[in-house]
Amino acid sequence: MTKPAPLPPTFDKAQLHGVLPAMDHDSVARMNFTSSISAFVNAVLSPGVKLAYEKNVKGAVAERAPAIRDAMCRQPFYQTWAALRRNNQETAKQIALDIALRGRDAINARTAELNAGKNTLSLDASLTPPAYLTQVENHCAPGGYFATFGDDDDVTVAAAYEVGLWPVGMGSLGPAGEGGGRAAVKWLRERFPDFKPKRILDLGAGCGSNTLPLAEGFPDAEVTAMDASGPLMRYGHARAQAMGYTGVRFVQAAIEALDPEIHGTFDWVHTTMVWHETSTTALREGLRRIHAVLTPGGITTHFEQPNFTPETKPFDQFLRDWDAWYNNEPFWTKLHRMDMTEELAAAGFAREKVIDGSAPPLIPPGSYPAWSGLTSRHEHEVRTVTKAVGPGSYDGKGWYVFGAIKT
């Protein structure tokens, strides 16, 4: 008997702040509907994809992800599952943009008010956005991370980005979308209890959801959020001000432009779900520059989906590649086939100092009602890791962690 889909927490459990768009009853209801559809697709329908594979495809084609994909694309159940998943993703993003557009004037005014006269926001009007962020609208979000609606200071896409995190993550990212940042602080403290970073850099920080927990976890540190998107940095800075994190710096810059001469050096450089939206060139240049800005003994950590290993079954590779084909994440499939130990070594880190492990999700206790449940988009993926500094296991519900200590 199929288990019922877990009911994700409703949007009224999201943490409100001074620049989050106002939402009426119907908007909240639409958000909750798309979130519940996501949970249903992942928890109830996904096992049917594997069943269709085992009954109709397995043994009939080569055991390679491309061959499996070609055959599965002709399976009606997979067609239905993939179409429903894609359509719900588009719907969630359209709803989020609609909410942000209707509150655009108020959001822009509040953002400008909170940012005025502050020296903790640094923007670069001359920055050319990286092609990997402009050639597609990542996650099917209309306007991507750079579109403006009206004047140049418009932050509509940034507000839509934050609102849209809820239905896509099914509430699993925390009330303020901060679960990754909280998990990173807990992971670092447990494994390196004597490590006390003085300067922290959160790369590809978006609107700062996962940056603020870093500042909370290390209140004596200077914390910088960096992202290539001007709208995200404007909105994120105002968001931080509204939430009381007035000392966090927000700097507009591309990862490939990270420079110790300009941006200084850091004891901890972190990313949360960033690299899958870049490119091979950007990843390799980015890791090299991270090595350059780290202080001796400094640590870099990266939270991502787990990379494939020789033990990852071709069917699981095919299923997880869905995001590359249908969710506007073209680098997704390449990234997950890379050996991050080799990439970190090529960037200058010593192999014996490489980190490869996992971090369980961390959401504040009591954030959600007892009847709600959290679901993963990749529960079928199981990865055991035993390397170097961070032994552990990845169960499909936490974060895959890779990184290194600079000698």
335-374 pLDDT tens trace? 999 999 999 999 999 999 999 988 888 888 888 888 888 7
Q: Residues 181-191: pLDDT tens digits?
A: 999 999 999 99
Distance CA 39, CA 7 (A): 7
d(CA 367, CA 346): 42
Q: Which residue has the tokens 């329908």?
A: 45
Phi then psi dihedrals of residue 362, to 5 deg: -135, 110
- Tokens for 195? 């490590």
> Out of 44-48, 116-120, 241-245, which region has the weakest mean confidence (pLDDT)?
44-48
The whole-number average pLDDT for the span 196-225 is: 98
Paired tokens of 132: 């990997």
pLDDT, tens digit (0-9, with 9 covering 90-100), for 96-112: 999 999 999 999 999 99
Instruction: Show the domains of the chain with their CATH numbers.
Output: 15-120+131-168 (no CATH), 171-365+378-405 (3.40.50.150)
Dmax of the chain from CA atoms?
66
Are 156 and 149 in contact by the 8 Å Cβ rule? The answer is yes
* C-alpha angle 286-395-406 in degrees, rounded to nearest 5: 30
Displacement of CA 145 from its chain's centroid (Å): 13
As given in the structure block, the two tokens for residue 198 are: 């003085």
Q: What is the pLDDT of residue 311?
A: 84
Q: How far is CA 161 from CA 21, 141, 147, 239, in A?
A: 11, 8, 12, 13
Answer whether residue 230 shows pLDDT above 70: yes
